[in-house]
Structure 1
Amino acid sequence: MPWNRFEGSLSTPKVDVMVMVDTGSPFLNRTVDGFFKIGAVAAMRTAAEETYYVVKRGNISQHKFEQSLKKMCKEGAYWGTVAGVYLGMEYGMERIRGTRDWKNAMLGGALTGAVISAASNESKDKIVMDAITGGAIATAAEFLNYHT
């Protein structure tokens, strides 16, 4: 019986977007860089989502277009803020602990989850749960980064 074989390789493209903001502080540079990079990702995700709905509906009004732009800005600012806080916290953990490992991601994620939750006026239980979730997600992402 004949069989076919497929061979190839898939590599992740290296994308490095330089944000040309130098605050003079490595801590602030990472925070601002994360804000802009992840904020742009969120805005583009929202743009793709809104484009899908425009194509599905078959038309767009000025009002819907303005709503889409506002949604892009809001999502970009929210995601960017979370990323900036996380990167700042992770860098702070690295500086405080004097080492670079997965524990910085865990602590940075937990602190970010707690800070973002507290800023949203959540209950104490919700803040704790968000801290646990933030730490778990950041740790998982860190482990995936080094999985090759």
Structure 2
Amino acid sequence: MTKSSFGNVGLIIDTGNPLLDHTVDGFVKISVVAAARAGAEDVYFMAKRGSVSSSGVKQSLKKMCSEGAYWGAIAGAYVGMEYGVAKISGTHDYKNAMISGALTGALVSAVSKGNAEKIFLTALTGGAIATAIGVINYLK
């Protein structure tokens, strides 16, 4: 069972499978953040224009769902991979983040039909970002 809290909102996900629990937890957390970001961006542009329409609100809701699903899927894949790598290696360190970030970057690029070079470069970027976050978390 994975227990997490975001501010004062507690969220418990228990599917009976720790790998799935972590994956779903990562998906839910990041999809909410991504949807909120997309919504805030649209509210900003509506305020800047000085008008709100029902079609604009519908379009904004679609964008929020799309962004939430996209970023949630990436986060879920990363968190699930990091959990799996930690279980396989028996450790929990920045190296797991590096491997998981690289695998997630490669997966995202491959799914979006990137060529071999783009897949490789996206894997490097994903690994670098995840490693940086892992090192920062280690320093706390």
Using a 3 Å threshold, how does the CA distance of structure 1 residues 135 and 88 change in structure 2: closer, same or farther?
same
Deviations 1:80-126 (A, max 9, x none): 00000000110111011111110000000000000111111110110
Following the alignment from structure 1 to structure 2, what is the Cα–Cα distance between the partners of residues 17 and 139?
Answer: 28
Q: Secondary structure at the match of 1:19?
A: strand
Using a 3 Å threshold, how does the CA distance of structure 1 residues 132 and 16 change in structure 2: closer, same or farther?
farther
Following the alignment from structure 1 to structure 2, what is the Cα–Cα distance between the partners of residues 60 and 84?
Answer: 34
Aligned sequence identity (%): 56
The corresponding residue for 1:127 is: 119
Root-mean-square deviation over aligned CA pairs: 1.4
Following the alignment from structure 1 to structure 2, what is the Cα–Cα distance between the partners of residues 24 and 123?
Answer: 38
The corresponding residue for 1:80 is: 72
Could you list the runs of 5+ residues in structure 2 that have no partner in the other structure? Answer: 1-5
The corresponding residue for 1:27 is: 19
Alignment of 1:1-148 (within 5 A): 15=7, 17-148=9-140
Could you list the runs of 5+ residues in structure 1 that have no partner in the other structure? Answer: 1-13
More strand by share: 2
Whichever of the two has the greater Rg, that structure is 1
4+ long deviations beyond 4 Å: none
**When the two structures are aligned, how many residues end up with a matched partner?**
135
Matched AA of 1:76: G
Using a 3 Å threshold, how does the CA distance of structure 1 residues 16 and 28 change in structure 2: closer, same or farther?
farther
| Residues 35 and 83, structure 1, Cα contact 8 Å, conserved in 2 | yes
Normalized against structure 2, the TM-score is what? 0.91
| Residues 39 and 78, structure 1, Cα contact 8 Å, conserved in 2 | yes
